[in-house]
């Protein structure tokens, strides 16, 4: 079955593309790029996710992750954003003081999109044209 994950009573293929920005769009993520990548990897391992791809730009992050269906996209975003924000601001007081005088490394919102092995049109045709 390739990329599919097998569970006790189900089979899944849940891949999500997340994008989120640093608070106030401060272009300072290059200062902690390697550390963020390590924190994201640690978070993935902790929650059983697999990072397919990650890009850390100066003021935003693209994260492509495969996860079990027990995690909602909102929970996954919270896991990655929360863990990384806490650790970066704890380890780098100078960054918090200079860029984030309030709290949090990340803006509140994020983008999430799903990907899959078949297109929306294929699923629609299958449901509408197949006798069940």
pLDDT of residue 2: 52
- The CATH number for 69's domain is 3.30.70.1290
Boundaries of domain holding 84: 5-129
pLDDT of residue 50: 96
pLDDT of residue 1: 40
DSSP state of 2: T
Closest CA to 35 of 103, 106, 92: 92
List, for residues 72-109, the tens digit of each pLDDT value: 999 999 999 999 999 999 999 999 999 987 779 999 99
Closest CA to 87 of 45, 126, 128, 43: 43
Say if residues 9 and 98 touch (Cβ distance below 8 Å).
Answer: no
Say if residues 29 and 106 touch (Cβ distance below 8 Å).
Answer: no
Number of domains in the chain: 1
Write out residues in the chain with pLDDT < 70, as ranges.
1-2, 131-132
Measured CA to CA, the distance from residue 16 to residue 37 in angstroms comes to 17
């Amino acid at each position: 079955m390739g990329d599919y994950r097998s569970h006790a009573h189900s089979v899944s293929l849940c891949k999500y593309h997340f994008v989120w920005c640093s608070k106030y769009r401060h272009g300072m993520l290059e200062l902690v790029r390697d550390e963020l990548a390590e924190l994201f990897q640690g978070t993935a391992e902790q929650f059983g996710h697999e990072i397919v791809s990650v890009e850390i730009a100066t003021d935003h992050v693209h994260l492509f992750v495969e996860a079990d269906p027990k995690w909602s996209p909102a929970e996954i975003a919270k896991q990655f954003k929360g863990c990384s924000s806490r650790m970066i601001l704890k380890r780098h007081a100078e960054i918090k003081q200079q860029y984030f005088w309030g709290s949090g490394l990340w803006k509140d919102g994020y983008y999430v999109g799903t990907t899959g092995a078949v297109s929306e049109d294929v699923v629609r045709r299958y449901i509408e044209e197949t006798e069940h």
